[in-house]
Amino acid sequence: MWISDRPAISLDELFKLFTKAELADRFGLRPQTQGQSKQELLNSLRARFPAALTLAQWQQPHPPQTLECIYKVDISAMCDRFRLMFFGNLAQDWNEFVLADLGLYRYEKVGFPESARAFHTRREVDDYLHLHECREGLLAITDPAAARQSEEAACAQGLTLDDILAAVPAEPYANEWLESRRGKLLLRIGLQYERRGAWERALDSYVRCAYPGVRARRIRVLERSAQFEAARMLAEQAVLDPESEEERQTLARMMPRLRRRCGLPRIPAQAAGAPLRLDLALPATPLRVEEQVRSHLCRHGAPAFYVENALVNSLFGLLCWDAVFAAVPGAFFHPFQQGPADLLQGGFHDRRRALFDACFAQLRSGRYQDTIRRNFAAKAGIQSPFVYWGALTAELLELALLCMSAEQLALLFHRLLQDVRGNRSGLPDLIQFWPADRRYRLIEVKGPGDRLQYNQLRWLDYCAGHGIPVSVCYVNRGAGS
């Protein structure tokens, strides 16, 4: 049977299907529900009705005036499996076909052979679904409200964190993509153990994977569990070969403390370049502080724009469009991909090195502006993991090409490509141009009580250290500027 006309449905499912007024009638609670939200009503009934019932059973003893019937698809698991096999994930669904036909979503056309698939064996599909079930089980533990929106997570309620950890395969997968998902899941499980102060169990989770950031978590857990020497030794190994700028930054904060706890002398910190500081006293307004500063700084001959991560990412995406959407084996396997499947994997750059080298060569030859303009016109509106079409206007694009030198764009693009996962965010909020002088400055804005985030600090340090004009604007609330 594909469809059931008398399915057993849970209380949460019932609340998704009917209005608050209909539910109050069904349970004979209309007078008591005045001033109660639908969620509050659900919470008040959940303990009384833990079991799933048919619609006829839910309607007793207050049947509705009209007969109703609920149909439930009984092959959801099979449909999800087919959907996974086509899209390579469970985030996309068949609505993609409709949205694409309507022209609401447009995707780059990338040629890929019929043999291109997200999965190559039935076992890989099974492994993905198993990891998904584990992830949903973790969601049921960490965010019950969100878990109730997921049928898989609802089924997993009642499991413990130990159950979830035991269900995750102990050995790494040969498939790099599956292994990345396994590692991310183990990292999330470890974080939950940390929040509970279960240091040994957190370490059990962390030592089973090599997901980015997990080594720093291991060091932190060793320190929190008073294993200072073990923490210091692992940190010193990491210092010699950090996996990313983020880990290098984290280690720089950890090492002085670990050396002190181990009775070792302090190592003098190296002086780093600092961005310029700009202090403004501005009155409180309903505007966001970034927009308030942009409006305050903007003047004739020196326009300012709120860009955050949009501008640098978009310029990179337009210049390197062909490299990003190259038909690399395993990168594309269905026509509804915003970007390549390996975008956030370590080998993304290496698999396309020659193509990216050709793109960066255009920055040296001066041809980059033509390529960026051509792709801005030809690719307008096509989904991209880098280009922010809603934020990139023709005016902003032309000012950027006029005022930002090829050398500085190369520096920004190199850092972005070095760690796509970590460096697509954290860029300064504003950019101000002086077109007559062909110069600009990036500006990070911080309102009262706000402080710089670690990924923002990394971008600020990089820009300041490489001669890219950058400032941090601190806003104080006053009568004027």
Residue 440 has pLDDT above 80, yes or no: yes
Q: Which residue has the tokens 């939950």?
A: 192
The residue among 350, 313, 351 whose CA lies nearest residue 332 is 351
In degrees and rounded to multiples of 5, residue 307 shows phi and psi of: -125, -30
DSSP state letters, 107-129: -------TT--S-SSHHHHHHHH
The pLDDT of residue 419 is: 93
Give the span between the Cα atoms of 171 and 182, in whole angstroms.
10
Q: Which of 35-49, 234-248, 339-353, 445-459 has the lowest mean pLDDT?
A: 35-49
Q: Is 302 helix (H, G, I), strand (E, B) or coil?
A: strand
What are 319-366's pLDDT values in tens digits? Answer: 999 999 999 988 999 999 999 999 998 889 999 999 999 999 999 999
Give the span between the Cα atoms of 414 and 441, in whole angstroms.
19
Give the span between the Cα atoms of 52 and 12, in whole angstroms.
9
Query: Residue 155: pLDDT band by 50, 70, 90 thresholds?
Result: low
Query: Residue 371: pLDDT band by 50, 70, 90 thresholds?
Result: very high
The pLDDT of residue 19 is: 86
CA distances from 229 to 66, 193, 456 (A): 72, 22, 31
Torsion (CA) 177, 180, 182, 184 in degrees, nearest 10: -140
Q: Which of 44-53, 174-183, 408-417, 426-435 has the lowest mean pLDDT?
A: 44-53
Question: Would you give the distance in Å from CA 447 to the centre of its chain?
Answer: 24
Give the span between the Cα atoms of 92 and 107, in whole angstroms.
14
Q: Do the Cβ atoms of 161 and 141 come closer than 8 Å?
A: yes
What are 191-245's pLDDT values in tens digits? Answer: 999 999 999 999 999 999 999 999 999 999 999 999 999 999 999 999 999 999 9
Give the span between the Cα atoms of 33 and 135, in whole angstroms.
36
Give the span between the Cα atoms of 196 and 352, in whole angstroms.
43
Query: Residue 149: pLDDT band by 50, 70, 90 thresholds?
Result: low
Q: Would you give the end-to-end CA distance of the chain in angstroms?
A: 72
Q: pTM for the whole thing?
A: 0.83
CA distances from 222 to 186, 219, 311, 338 (A): 17, 5, 40, 40
The pLDDT of residue 9 is: 87
The residue among 235, 396, 378, 374 whose CA lies nearest residue 307 is 396
